[in-house]
Chain A
């Protein structure tokens, strides 16, 4: 189905001559920016119960409700202020005092105060089923009208980014505390963000810009969200019906940018994560570092990114992208992409006492024929084939492909029912990327784990992760981060293949002033919370 649509649209885009003129007749309503949303189905549901556990809430709530902090992806994933002005850790990282901005109001005119922050942060504690953001603090208390104190059970410098999670936004206590949150859909949201809900239709949402937003004056009066499909979106962008979208476009350079390089922008921003092969280190043969190394050495990363049509996006051996972690990356690993090295890989196998016989790994008379699990819904079959072929050619090892739709894929992955699995790794900051390797997240095979699905169990790793949690000293964090990088490269709990990206499509016919991947202090990705707001604040109408 999907492929068929893709094929057709691909064909029609290739044959399409030049972009159509943008929709005219906008007139006075020209101060509108249109966002084409591709991952929300055909209709929207009016559900602004933003802290509830729904995954399909009304879109772009981050323009209405804001978090206390933001993650600066332009700067190694460091946490920066947003509704919080500043903060300070005390008691060895167990007490966090947050100072709030004093110039923030909700869209109903009421001031945003410590009471609202205490209520919002306290809700997940009071109602664990509303703890969708996965908080780690134990209690919240008001210090004064603009200060709150958050208590942790353990030193928690490293988990500051939970306050930057858009799933943990500040909501007005005076409205929320009077509602039954298990049945309230919050149809008319009131938040601190730059927009209020104008008109809600299942097929189009219009947000209205506030004139009293603390962050400044927005250049547009309305923000329109329309549901669309990834394939229809391409046509809409070419026609200029959509200004801004977030979707990958495999051949975007040729099909989109080339038609009008000034106005058709297709941008990739590293999200700090990578697509990696996770080894199931809880069972043979992947409990042996030699086997892991040998397989990591014989992954043809370049062939994979070529097939993806994203040249130059091979992941380095640490899994940290250079676009994001330039200052954090150990210089020894900068600019390195592992090349296929069959000789070294065979030497590794020999060093571990392994032989390959009839396509299987053999040691002490036991044969292992591994399989690689991947998500078939992501169309990952092609890339799995590349891996499988390279392993066969360089090692003679016959790995079986085990594609699963999302449902089975996540289950098998979480239960540890795999040998190798192609999975996303990543997070914000170096700690965020690697923390899943902590043995505290490890469960026996057959018992579900949402982190550490590879069942990595290494005291050295645990020690560094624990040390990172106990400090907010940047230099020390960098040193610890490099120790973790070395562990990942040497012991290979997982092997990164290619970097993952935020994909941004822009038709800059009506709005200019967009960040570029070469120069950005925030990512113009819709849905990134404060970053989305920063992008909107920085735009200008073309010709004005």
Chain B
């Protein structure tokens, strides 16, 4: 029973992965413009002069002509992927895409990973408390305030924070992921500088994200506390804290948990706006640049990574659900 369920899920995810790779190939090619003209444009900007036609032809010779047969392009792409090769970045030729991704990935995993977990923890905890005593003063103040927070555009929060703390007060750096004057490595000073640089981006993400978790958790808790088994637990005389967390929260958390798993999958994609506002050297910025410069191989590399991470996270969530929620097994 359980095995059949697993096999079905795995099959689904495999199909999704294949579809993702296909789309990943197709989408950038459906966008206007091609990498060759992007390079020409960039060269014109750098040199301040028009680029001769000979150059465009030689660039096309390297990066392929967008008017080539699409099927042939896909075959080439699939063959490359099967060797674990993400290709060579167009704008950074001949640097492999994998190198660039590996350089950016740790920063994003650290920043977005830590903040996603923190925001989830804070939001969920406060949500349980607010939902447990819906209508209390705590709930009456916190919940509307959080609703307001959730509606403030993130980039605005980030810009404001950068302005106040970075520029006016000068407490945090204006950009970057670490103090470049320090030697890179596992030294105390370096770790401190990484934290110092990450503080503001992290704080803005947590600030903007925890509200969503809080509201979801609060509303689920409000529903759950009225369930018979919670009343029964209370009637048995268990401590309120035990009832709140072990009985109400544990069940109320299920939807939040799905969201959390998906959010973890999204970590790889980075926080695009955060990384742009704070010039943070992560995947989000890499993607942003790849899109701007129509660096197909880089775009595809990053998209593929994001898609697979999300699929993987969902798969893990699916599996964990089987353990958490007996009803799934029964239905499966």
Instruction: Tell me, in angstroms, the Cα distance from A45 to B275 when the chains sit together.
Output: 17
Say yes or no: B167 contacts A450, CB within 8 Å. Answer: no
Interface of A is mostly: loop
Cβ < 8 Å to B, chain A residues 119-149:
128-136
Partner-binding segment picked from B70-78, B89-97, B114-122, B220-228: B89-97
Partner-binding segment picked from B55-63, B209-217, B240-248, B250-258: B55-63
Query: Out of A52, A228, A426, which one reaches B48, CB within 8 Å?
Result: A426
Residue of B nearest to A205 (CB): B180
Which B residues are CB-close (under 8 A) to A232? 174-175, 279
Is B259 among interface residues, defined by CB-CB distance under 8 A?
no
Residue of B nearest to A271 (CB): B48
Query: Out of B31, B174, B281, which one reaches A407, CB within 8 Å?
Result: B31
Instruction: Tell me, in angstroms, the Cα distance from A47 to B89 when the chains sit together.
Output: 11
Is B177 among interface residues, defined by CB-CB distance under 8 A?
yes
How far apart are A222's CB and chain B's nearest CB, in angstroms? Answer: 12
Is A332 among interface residues, defined by CB-CB distance under 8 A?
no
Instruction: Tell me, in angstroms, the Cα distance from A449 to B51 when the chains sit together.
Output: 10
Is B178 among interface residues, defined by CB-CB distance under 8 A?
yes
Cβ < 8 Å to B, chain A residues 466-484:
none
Number of A residues, CB within 8 Å of B: 70
Interface centre among B39, B91, B276 (most CB of A within 10 A): B91
Cβ < 8 Å to A, chain B residues 12-60:
31-34, 37-59
Say yes or no: A55 contacts B94, CB within 8 Å. Answer: no
Is A204 among interface residues, defined by CB-CB distance under 8 A?
yes
How far apart are B237's CB and chain A's nearest CB, in angstroms? Answer: 56
Known: A134-B54, A228-B175, A410-B37. A55 touches B279 (CB 8 A): no
Is A41 among interface residues, defined by CB-CB distance under 8 A?
yes
Say yes or no: B281 contacts A42, CB within 8 Å. Answer: yes
Is A202 among interface residues, defined by CB-CB distance under 8 A?
yes
Which B residues are CB-close (under 8 A) to A411? 32-34, 37
Is A201 among interface residues, defined by CB-CB distance under 8 A?
yes
Instruction: Tell me, in angstroms, the Cα distance from A54 to B156 when the chains sit together.
Output: 35
Interface centre among A53, A181, A451 (most CB of B within 10 A): A53
Say yes or no: B51 contacts A450, CB within 8 Å. Answer: yes
Cβ < 8 Å to B, chain A residues 411-453:
411, 414, 424, 426-428, 432, 436, 441, 448-451
How far apart are A5's CB and chain B's nearest CB, in angstroms? Answer: 6
Is A49 among interface residues, defined by CB-CB distance under 8 A?
yes
Instruction: Tell me, in angstroms, the Cα distance from A408 to B90 when the chains sit together.
Output: 19
Is A527 among interface residues, defined by CB-CB distance under 8 A?
yes
Say yes or no: B175 contacts A5, CB within 8 Å. Answer: no
Say yes or no: A182 contacts B94, CB within 8 Å. Answer: yes
Is B168 among interface residues, defined by CB-CB distance under 8 A?
yes
Interface centre among B52, B176, B292 (most CB of A within 10 A): B52
Say yes or no: B176 contacts A55, CB within 8 Å. Answer: no
Cβ < 8 Å to A, chain B residues 129-186:
155-156, 159-160, 163, 167-168, 174-178, 180-181, 184
Is B293 among interface residues, defined by CB-CB distance under 8 A?
yes
Q: List the 8 closest A-B pairs by CB distance, nearest first.
A: A204-B180, A407-B33, A134-B52, A55-B42, A134-B55, A54-B93, A56-B91, A203-B180
Assuming A55-B42, A129-B58, A228-B175, what are 20 further A-B pairs, CB within 8 angstroms? A1-B273, A4-B156, A5-B277, A12-B168, A42-B176, A42-B281, A45-B92, A53-B58, A55-B38, A55-B39, A56-B42, A134-B53, A406-B292, A426-B48, A427-B49, A428-B49, A436-B50, A450-B52, A450-B55, A502-B48
Binding site for A on B (CB under 8 A): 31-34, 37-59, 61-63, 89-95, 100, 103-104, 155-156, 159-160, 163, 167-168, 174-178, 180-181, 184, 273, 275-277, 279-281, 285, 289, 292-294
What would 22 A/B residue contacts be, using CB atoms closer than 8 Å?
A1-B155, A1-B273, A5-B159, A8-B160, A12-B163, A12-B167, A39-B45, A42-B176, A43-B104, A53-B59, A136-B54, A181-B94, A201-B180, A204-B181, A232-B175, A273-B48, A411-B32, A411-B34, A441-B53, A449-B53, A450-B52, A451-B52
